[in-house]
Chains A and B, each alone.
Chain A
Amino acid sequence: MSSQKKEHLNLLVMGHVDNGKSTLVGHLLFLAGGLDDRYLAALEEEAKKTGKEFAKFAWLGDKLKEERERDMTIDLSFWKFETPKYFFTIIDAPGHRDFVKNMITGASQADCAILVVSAKKGEYEAGMGPGGQTREHAFLAKTLGVNQVVVAINKMDDQTVNYSEQRYNEVKDGVFKFLKMIGYDTSKILAIPISGWKGDNIIKHSPNTPWYKGPTLFEALDTFVPPEKPINKPLRVPIQDVYTITGVGTVPVGRVETGVMKVGMNVIFMPANKAGEVKSIETHHMKIEEAVPGDNIGFNVKGVGKTDIHRGDVCGEVSKPPTVAETFKGRIFVLYHPTAIAAGYTPVLHVHTATVATTFLELEKKIDPKTGAVIEEKPSFLKQGDSAIVTFKPTKPLAIELYNDLPPLGRFALRDMGRTIAAGVVTEIKPATLAK
Chain B
Amino acid sequence: MNVLEKDLERKTFEVEIEDKEDLWHLYNIIDLGDMVCGQTFREVRVSRGDGGEERGGRRKVYLCIEVEDLYFQSFTESLRIRGKVISGPEDMHIQGQYHTFSVKERDRIKISKKVWLSFHEERLKIAQKKERPRAVVVTIDDQEAQLFLVKEYSMEHLFDVQSHVSGKYLESGGRSAEKSRYLSKVAEELGRLAEKEKAFIIVGGPGFTKSELLSILKEKFKNIKAVEENASSIGPSGAREILRRGALNRILKDSLLIRDSELVDEFLFRLANKPSLVAYGIEEVKKAVERGAVDSLLVSGRLIKNVTQEERSIIEEICKKTEGYGGKVYFVGAEHEKGLQLFNLGGIAALLRFSIS
Task: Give chain A's interface residues, CB within 8 Å of chain B.
Answer: 61, 63-66, 70, 74-78, 96-101, 240-245, 251, 253, 298, 306-307, 310-311, 337-348, 355, 357, 380-381, 383-384, 395, 415-418
Contact = CB atoms under 8 A, between A and B. Distances in A.
B57 to A, nearest CB: 43
A416 B219 CA distance: 33
A355 B232 CA distance: 13
B215 to A, nearest CB: 13
Given A311-B143, A342-B345, A244 B269 contact: no
A411 to B, nearest CB: 19
Given A66-B208, A98-B232, A311-B143, A344 B337 contact: yes
Contacts of A243: 166, 169-170, 172
Interface of B: 141-143, 162, 164, 166-170, 172, 174-176, 206-208, 232-233, 235-237, 241, 265, 268-269, 271-273, 280, 337, 340-346
A383 B268 CA distance: 10
Interface-central residue, B207, B235, B268, B345, by most chain A CB under 10 Å: B207
Contacts of B280: 380
20 contacts: A64-B168, A65-B176, A74-B142, A78-B169, A98-B206, A99-B206, A100-B232, A101-B141, A242-B164, A243-B166, A243-B170, A298-B169, A310-B143, A339-B268, A341-B268, A341-B341, A345-B337, A346-B236, A381-B272, A416-B233
Contacts of B236: 346, 357, 395
A380 B170 contact: no
Given A240-B169, A307-B164, A342-B268, 6 more contacts: A100-B232, A242-B164, A244-B166, A310-B164, A338-B269, A347-B237
B168 A339 contact: no
B237 A357 contact: yes
A383 B237 contact: no
Given A99-B206, A342-B344, A344-B337, A240 B233 contact: no
A340 B271 contact: yes
Contacts of A70: 208
A306 B172 CA distance: 12
Given A253-B169, A306-B164, A340 B206 contact: no
B271 A381 contact: yes
Nearest to A66: B208
A100 B206 CA distance: 10
A380 B275 CA distance: 13
Contacts of A99: 206-207
A417 B244 CA distance: 11
B168 A98 contact: no
Contacts of B237: 346-348, 357, 415-417
Contacts of A357: 235-237
B271 A339 contact: yes
A344 B341 contact: yes
A343 B143 contact: no
A406 to B, nearest CB: 24
Most chain A beta carbons < 10 A, residue from B164, B233, B273, B280: B233
Contacts of A417: 232, 237, 241
A96 B174 CA distance: 26
A337 B269 CA distance: 9
Contacts of A241: 166-167, 169
Contacts of B269: 338-340
The 7 closest A-B pairs by CB, nearest first: A418-B232, A344-B340, A98-B206, A339-B268, A343-B344, A340-B271, A342-B341
B272 A383 contact: yes
B155 to A, nearest CB: 12
A307 B162 contact: yes
A29 to B, nearest CB: 14
A98 B207 contact: yes
Nearest to B231: A418
A307 to B, nearest CB: 5
B207 A348 contact: no
B208 A75 contact: no
B235 A348 contact: yes
B208 A346 contact: no
A75 B341 contact: no
B322 to A, nearest CB: 22
Nearest to A312: B143
Contacts of A63: 168
Contacts of A298: 169-170
A245 B170 contact: yes
Given A75-B168, A339-B271, A345 B208 contact: no
Nearest to A97: B232
Most buried by A among B167, B208, B272, B346: B167
Contacts of A341: 268, 341
Given A75-B168, A78-B169, A242-B164, A344 B232 contact: no
Given A339-B265, A343-B344, A380-B345, A76 B272 contact: no
A310 B272 contact: no
Contacts of A415: 232-233, 237
A333 to B, nearest CB: 16
A320 to B, nearest CB: 27
A418 B169 contact: no
Contacts of B342: 342
Nearest to A77: B168
A306 B175 CA distance: 13
A334 to B, nearest CB: 10
A36 to B, nearest CB: 16
B78 to A, nearest CB: 28
Contacts of B166: 241-244
Nearest to B342: A342
